[in-house]
Amino acid sequence: MSNLKVLAIDDSRTMRNLVRATLEGAGFDVETAEDGEVGVASVSDADPDVIITDINMPNLDGFGVITAVRQMPQYRSVPILVLTTESDHSLKVRARDSGATGWIVKPFEDSKLIAAIRRVARI
């Protein structure tokens, strides 16, 4: 079986690097994008098994990412995890209603992020 492919979208270079290091250490293949527009544009090339997105980003926020990915027939069922500093319940509801699979608050624990990805990817 090939490695699980993850697309991580976050405007923070530090966070992208942290997510990449954590997930590559767990054996996942990781592509990153620096904002929502770039992330949505790179979905087809990355062909991810799981997408991780921040909410607060320039150009296209996480809600826009979720909506755009859900409109792509071939990625409609790809799990999308929101990784954000936000913890407001109304934002979680909005993300879920947009099509997000799960919500993880930063700063994240490596083991919990890895477990969440494995759970939503069913591996």
Integer Cα distance of 118 and 4 in angstroms? 9
- Residue 1 pLDDT greater than 70, yes or no: no
Tens of pLDDT, residues 50-74 = 999 999 999 999 999 999 999 999 9
Domain range annotation of the chain? 5-121
Burial class (CB in 10 A: 0-12, 13-18, 19+), 73: exposed
Q: pLDDT exceeding 90 applies to what percent of the chain? A: 94
| Closest to 121 in 3D by CA, of 82, 88, 79, 85 | 79
- Residue 29 pLDDT greater than 90, yes or no: yes
Give this prediction's pTM: 0.96
**CATH superfamily of the 5-121 domain:** Response regulator (3.40.50.2300)
Ramachandran category for residue 54: left, alpha or beta (phi over 0 → left; psi -120 to 50 → alpha): beta
Integer Cα distance of 73 and 55 in angstroms? 22
